[in-house]
Structure 1
Amino acid sequence: MKFNDSFQNLKSYCEDQNFAGWDPYDGLNSKVFQALPLKHWDIARLAWIQGFKRSPINLRKLLLVPKQHNSKGIALFLLGYCRLYEAASQGKIEFGTSETLVEKIKYLTQLLLDMKVEGYAGACWGYNFDWQARRLFLFKKNTPTVVATAFCVEALIESYKITQDENVLNTALSSAEFVLQDLSRTEHGTGHIFSYSIKDGNNTVINASLLGAKILSYAYKYKKKQTYLDMAKKAVVAACDLQEDDGSWIYGLLPVQSWKDSFHTGFNLDALETYQQNTDDTAFQKYIDKGWDYYTEHFFEADGKPKYYHDKTYPIDIHCPAQVIVTASKLNTFTKHLELLERTLNWTIENMQSKKGFFYYQYRQGLSSKISYMRWSNAFMFNAMAHYYLEINK
């Protein structure tokens, strides 16, 4: 299928759904489960979520899980529309004129602002469902995380560049105070690791810490507050220290977090590059170069098939092909790696897109999960394809 047809089908599907949908982790939103006493038992919550996530059959209608907006998903759609606006400004209007796209940008921006979680030192966002992470943590609905917040911050700043709405910019920049005052920090060498969320004890995830640095780097770019630069740099130092000699990163520091996967590697590289662009501190370029080489050499097969892990292909997660396009664009290596990106995108369209326009969650050797997830699948691919469209038309 041609790129334009594929992207138009995805765009139409998401707009028809008003960007709302299901999520791999939204099982606890089930009205059936919430009516049961099992909801108070951590093992039951974990099993229920994992059952929904792993099942190739969508049980959500049957068990009354509503379609909803998700802040990270809305941020990804907003980022994508900003890229389409940029393309339209250069005369490329297959997916909308500047006038129609700016209306979508304003709509999604306001939606994202309305989803902001109140009561913290700065703007922050969480997810629209309770989420049990192993037995250790229950993240209640709208518990703010640095991951969701980082995506929202970048999207709002890109929106500001188009609309020049100072309220949007100031809201985004205030997230730096959320990072500094509401997240915890764990010393690592001469740097530190930011926590994933406001909860104690989830301070071992490398990409989450780098996303904290990414937020701070945006605040430094616009406000030139030295504290933002210093605290961002410490997170970057720690993450680069944790990079292995071959350029790879494990997901996190706990024994159960020792895997190496494709899209979190992409997140790391994106955050490091964003830090350098926002601060003009290019001292970490060698880590980006090593990481990018490892990323492209270990996570993609000759036919473009994206691998989940460095040493294992399946299950192929839709995040994997989506993130490499965005990361290549951010690192300004898109043109150099166009052949790889074309092969990967073509494979994904042929194997992971429904005729209805949406993208599947996971491609497996056995029974694939062909459920439409708005944040996890469609928002990520929408943003990726918007980046791709902009890049090939430069």
Structure 2
Amino acid sequence: MAAWQSSSLTATEFTADLMTPEELERRADYIYHLLDGCDWAGPDPYDGLTSPLASLAIHPFLRQVLLQTVKRSPVDIRPWLAIRPLRTATACGLGATACSRFAASPLWHSRARQLGRWTATRQLRGRYAGLWNYEFDVQTRWGHYPASMPNIVATTFCADGCLDTGTLDGAAAESLATALLDQLYTGRHFAYTPASATLIHNANLMGAALAARLASLDGMRRPLASRLTDAARSAVSATAAGQRPDGSWPYGTSANLGWVDGFHTGYVLLRFDAASRGLGLEPNKVIDSGTRYYLDHLFDGSVPRYYADVKTARGGHARRDPNNDATAVRMAVWAEEHGYVRPGFADQVLETVSPALPGEGRAQTLYANALPGPPVRRSPRWSLAPLLDALTAFYVTRRAQ
């Protein structure tokens, strides 16, 4: 992949000191203890439909109103709505991947295996055997799916966590591969759920990267591996064809899914890269163009933007979202690793999104600020696990520099 420097970023001086691997591990350990202390359970931006009131919301509009009210309320109204903290397989799967990067440490290895084993137990049985689901019903702009239905995002994070920790046996991996193709592959791309054929680019590439990874597993039957490879190639081609001339991707192909945001674009690029490497494809202009767009339009200096080119929201304050911020750190690390930005950019992004705690200086910096603040900051799936993933990826990259 050709090195490239963003014009807007090269004009900015990044003055943050480079963090040592030891500092990054201390931060990761702090996040891990916060997650472990609450048993990886907490609020979720999309848990509104677990309220008993959801049974009254029979119309999609009413479901979305309930979900968005819970999600956007500055005060945590979950206790009033009888919404309980959730331990999600998605958060634990991502946590397993994050912890596995410290494989040389017996402590981190034990943490990774524990999370991986639990995640493996959440693999679905029955009609959707082999896949994973969310623990709550979801109503989106493009559709509704119940907690009983699997989706590609949960499946990818959970499967990667199990594969990274060696907690998915051969039979479970084959069941996953078969269901991925039979339930989530449309013949051209991977769908978000079995009930929707809409092309959602980040979801499609999550499926492509997972299919390519499964195809390479020792013991995967050759005919099944061949089907996985063909599906992954087709999915990569579908999203490559969906890239706009400026390098961006809309969230999806439907008329009401044309927005561009930071964390979904980050997912597209990370999974496009993973799928391409898994398929043995040469670096290409699609990734270069997409990365260029991401760095130029989804950062304001070192501040992540939620939507492309939108600097401020009402009140003059930039919209901040913990998942978008954590993904921005993960992407800044990836961009440094691939030569798109100078060393130090990822450090600055991390400092920007992480208010410092009193006590032990920046080694104790924590985005969630010891768990007070808006409920979304305390979400294991939406905030803390993605930040743990970004920190451990940063650790690996910094050690290699």
* Paired position in structure 2 for 1:206: 201
| Alignment of 1:252 onto 2:252 | yes
CA deviation map 1:245-295 (0-9, x unaligned): 22111111112111111111111111111112212122x522111111211
| Structure 1 Cα separation of the partners of residues 231 and 281 of structure 2 | 13
CA deviation map 1:36-85 (0-9, x unaligned): x5143433222111100111111112222111211211111111111133
CA deviation map 1:151-174 (0-9, x unaligned): 1122222112xxxx5x44552453
| Structure 2 Cα separation of the partners of residues 196 and 370 of structure 1 | 23
Q: How does 1:1-394 map to 2 (within 5 A)?
A: 6-31=27-52, 33=53, 38-85=56-103, 89=104, 98-120=105-127, 122-134=129-141, 137-160=143-166, 167-168=168-169, 170-185=171-186, 192-199=188-195, 201-222=196-217, 223=220, 225-282=225-282, 285-302=284-301, 304-313=302-311, 314-327=318-331, 332-333=337-338, 336-350=341-355, 353-356=367-370, 358=371, 371-394=377-400
Quick check: 1:21–1:374 contact (8 Å CA) kept in 2?
Answer: yes
CA deviation map 1:230-256 (0-9, x unaligned): 111011111001111221111111121
* Paired position in structure 1 for 2:11: none
Task: Sort the Cα spacing of 1:78 and 1:245 in 2 relative to 1 into closer, same or farther, 3 A.
Answer: same
- Which structure 1 segments of 5+ residues have no match? 90-97, 187-191, 362-368
- Which structure 2 segments of 5+ residues have no match? 1-18, 312-317, 357-365
| Structure 1 Cα separation of the partners of residues 109 and 66 of structure 2 | 40
| Structure 2 Cα separation of the partners of residues 232 and 318 of structure 1 | 30
Query: Displacement of 1:147 after TM fit?
Result: 1.3
Kindly indicate whether structure 1 or structure 2 has the higher relative contact order, using CA contacts under 8 Å at least 6 residues apart.
2
TM-score, structure 2 normalization: 0.82
Quick check: 1:359–1:378 contact (8 Å CA) kept in 2?
Answer: no
Query: Displacement of 1:14 after TM fit?
Result: 0.8
| Structure 1 Cα separation of the partners of residues 372 and 95 of structure 2 | 14
| Structure 2 Cα separation of the partners of residues 349 and 68 of structure 1 | 25
Query: Displacement of 1:375 after TM fit?
Result: 0.6
| Structure 2 Cα separation of the partners of residues 208 and 250 of structure 1 | 12
SS at match of 1:141: coil
SS at match of 1:194: coil
Query: Displacement of 1:10 after TM fit?
Result: 2.1
Alignment coverage as a number of residue pairs: 358
Task: Sort the Cα spacing of 1:173 and 1:287 in 2 relative to 1 into closer, same or farther, 3 A.
Answer: farther
| Structure 1 Cα separation of the partners of residues 183 and 320 of structure 2 | 35
Quick check: 1:184–1:203 contact (8 Å CA) kept in 2?
Answer: no
SS at match of 1:62: helix
Query: Displacement of 1:179 after TM fit?
Result: 2.1
Query: Displacement of 1:194 after TM fit?
Result: 2.1
TM-score, structure 1 normalization: 0.83
| Structure 1 Cα separation of the partners of residues 161 and 246 of structure 2 | 32
Alpha-carbon RMSD across the aligned residues, in angstroms, is 2.5
1:158 partner letter: D
* Paired position in structure 2 for 1:93: none
| Structure 1 Cα separation of the partners of residues 146 and 237 of structure 2 | 31
| Structure 2 Cα separation of the partners of residues 124 and 52 of structure 1 | 28
Query: Displacement of 1:333 after TM fit?
Result: 2.0
| Structure 2 Cα separation of the partners of residues 340 and 359 of structure 1 | 28
Quick check: 1:299–1:308 contact (8 Å CA) kept in 2?
Answer: yes
